[in-house]
């Protein structure tokens, strides 16, 4: 029965993640910022970028879930679970912002989740140090794309900017934590593959 309960809870979480249903434990950093009038092009662009960020958080949930499941030490399992709980704030904030912009989450969320879960499982199977190294490199690349978003979001879209900036701060922290736990360096070719995969996801999620 315990195993069945775990499966049911896991499936419930997956369904909530891909549907964009999440609850944040922290206050939305944009909560006190008044919305402004965006023209159609600005609204579409902000929505596209926030959809990309939401997909990134769907992927983060899948990665941390699989890495926690397959990690070898109980201590590391809990570290991955904690990081996943913190990332769920981002999932909730980006989903809320998409609704405010009159847009939607990605139609391909089930695919993003499944693919990321598989990648996280592979990383975990390589050992805890390499799994942590994967986190470090992932967070480094996520931070880079969040910085890019801060340069391309409409200047007056302060709500989206506040969310993205807090996400950036959190990702830096998660990467630093993984590094401190003994992350192994990722080979340059693998880092390149990760960047290429992220580029495909970004282009696709912006529209779909």
Condensed to tens digits (0 to 9), the pLDDT of residues 105-136 reads 998 999 888 888 888 888 888 888 988 888 89
Quickly state the pLDDT bin for 16 (edges 50, 70, 90).
low
Q: What is the mean pLDDT of residues 161-183?
A: 93
Rounded mean pLDDT of 52-80? 89
pLDDT confidence of residue 20: 65
Which CATH number among 1.10.730.10, 3.40.50.300, 1.10.1740.10, 1.20.1260.10 corresponds to the domain 40-207? 1.20.1260.10
pLDDT at 143 over 90: yes
Closest CA to 9 of 69, 59, 57: 69
Q: Considering the chain, what percentage of its residues have pLDDT values greater than 90? A: 38
pLDDT tens for each residue of 184-198: 887 777 778 778 888
Spell out the domain ranges in the chain.
40-207
Of 67-76, 148-157, 177-186, 193-202, the one with minimum mean pLDDT is 193-202
Q: Which residue, 199, 68, 56, is CA-closest to 131? A: 68
Residue 95 pLDDT class (50, 70, 90 cuts): very high
Q: What's the average model confidence in pLDDT over 53-82?
A: 88
Rounded to a whole number, what is the distance in angstroms from the first to the last CA of the chain? 39
DSSP 37: -
CB 105 within 8 A of CB 98: yes
Burial of 74 (0-12, 13-18, 19+ CB in 10 A): exposed
Supply the pLDDT for residue 44. 95
> Which stretch of 37-51, 64-78, 97-111 has the lowest confidence by average pLDDT?
64-78
Does residue 102 sit in helix, strand or coil? coil
The average confidence (pLDDT) of the chain is: 86
For 18, the enclosing helix (H) or strand (E) is helix 2-19
Q: Tokens at residue 152, please?
A: 């391309």
Map tokens 């896991």 to a residue. Answer: 10
pTM of the model: 0.88
The rounded distance, in Å, linking the Cα atoms of 159 and 79 is 30
């Amino acid at each position: 029965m315990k195993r069945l309960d775990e499966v049911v809870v896991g499936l419930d979480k997956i369904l909530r993640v891909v549907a964009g249903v999440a609850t944040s434990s922290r206050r939305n950093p944009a909560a006190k910022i008044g919305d402004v009038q965006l023209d159609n092009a600005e609204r579409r662009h902000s929505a596209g970028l926030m959809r990309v960020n939401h997909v990134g958080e769907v992927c983060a949930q899948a990665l941390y879930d699989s890495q926690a499941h397959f990690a070898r030490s109980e201590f590391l399992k809990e570290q991955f679970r904690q990081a996943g709980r913190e990332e769920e704030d981002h999932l909730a904030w980006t989903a809320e912002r998409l609704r405010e912009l009159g847009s939607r989450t990605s139609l391909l969320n089930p695919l993003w989740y499944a693919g990321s879960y598989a990648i996280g499982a592979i990383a975990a199977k390589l050992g805890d140090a390499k799994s942590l190294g994967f986190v470090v490199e992932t967070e480094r690349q996520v931070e880079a794309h969040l910085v890019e978003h801060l340069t391309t979001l409409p200047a007056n879209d302060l709500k989206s900017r506040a969310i993205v900036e807090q996400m950036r701060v959190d990702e830096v922290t998660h990467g630093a934590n993984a590094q401190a736990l003994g992350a192994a360096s990722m080979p340059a070719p693998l880092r390149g593959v990760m960047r290429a995969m992220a580029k495909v996801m970004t282009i696709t999620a912006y529209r779909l």
